[in-house]
Amino acid sequence: MRDYIILTDSGCDIDEAELAEWGVRRLDLTFKSVGSAEEHTDREIGVKEFYDKMREGVVYQTSAANPDYLAEVFEREVAAGRDVLYICFSSGLSGTFGSAQMAAAEVEAKHPGSRVVVVDSLCASAGHGLLVWLAKERRDAGAALDELAAYVTETVPRVCHWFTVDDLVYLKRGGRVSAAACFAATVLGIKPVLHVDDEGHLISMSKVRGRRLALKAMADKYVKTALDPSGGIYFISHGDCLEDAERLEGMLAESCGHKAAHISNIGPVIGAHSGPGTLALFFLGEPR
């Protein structure tokens, strides 16, 4: 059996250095400011600078990964004698999955006997990161490539995503909420509580008055729907609002007795669409 490597991308919102400790390699997804042709990665513009620019009025946009770039990365691994499992950013939010399928077919045709398996995470931010973490745990336990790909695919529908945003204007730009709803929410202090559905799309589930109640609603979702509230792991990610992330962690520690397994920044690829002040919670649960 050939050796294999797990690849993911910057949509997972796990720092590259930490991914390297997990034995996982990361591909770069890009973003750019509206009106500029220059694309960037989070290596070039850090999270703090990115959100500060958004607060100053800079509008960012993202695009799917180029199939040629993906093919280049896949071919480098295959040429070194390794097959690939690529856990990809949600097809519900990006065209990267389609690009990856094209690139994988090209590389496998060029290198008979090689394997490049692309799995659609249908996840975002550290929910994607949680899926990668679970995959590396199963790999470390000795799973073969096909066994691991099947496990990841079966686990996807159980990765729960609950999040809130501080300002609906960013979701309005992406067509997630109407201009009228955005205006009313701003005036009334309404905060949406959203999740990622089974097709990987962002869906608004409820609205509460104020940030504190939004955090409580997210914590309640964990308590009610997590597979193992008292012993399971959960990840938190945030758009430059660490204090709120720690506040949510405190709520969950008080109710369930344990802290987050991981707290990370929401990077530019996700943050371009959700904005500063986004707070998200991820765990395994039923239903998603």
Indicate the residue among 130, 156, 182 that finishes a domain: 156
pLDDT digits (tens, 9 = 90+) for 30-57: 999 998 999 999 989 999 999 999 999 9
Is the pLDDT at 287 greater than 80? The verdict is no
Q: Model-level pTM?
A: 0.92
pLDDT digits (tens, 9 = 90+) for 56-76: 999 999 989 999 999 999 999
DSSP 162-212: EEE-S-THHHHHTTSS-HHHHHHHHHHTEEEEEEE-TTS-EEEEEEEESHH
Range of the domain at 215: 158-284
**CATH number, domain at 257?**
3.30.1180.10
CA separation for the pair 134, 74 (Å, rounded): 22
What average pLDDT does range 126-138 have in this prediction?
98
Whether residue 36 is found in the same domain as residue 121: yes
What average pLDDT does range 119-147 have in this prediction?
97
Indicate the residue among 131, 156, 181 that finishes a domain: 156
Indicate the residue among 105, 125, 156 that finishes a domain: 156
Asked which of 7-16, 40-49, 75-84, 140-149 is least confident by mean pLDDT, the reply is: 40-49
Whether residue 7 is found in the same domain as residue 144: yes
Closest listed residue to residue 198, CA positions, set 90, 281, 284, 122: 122
Number of compact structural domains in the chain: 2
Whether residue 162 is found in the same domain as residue 152: no
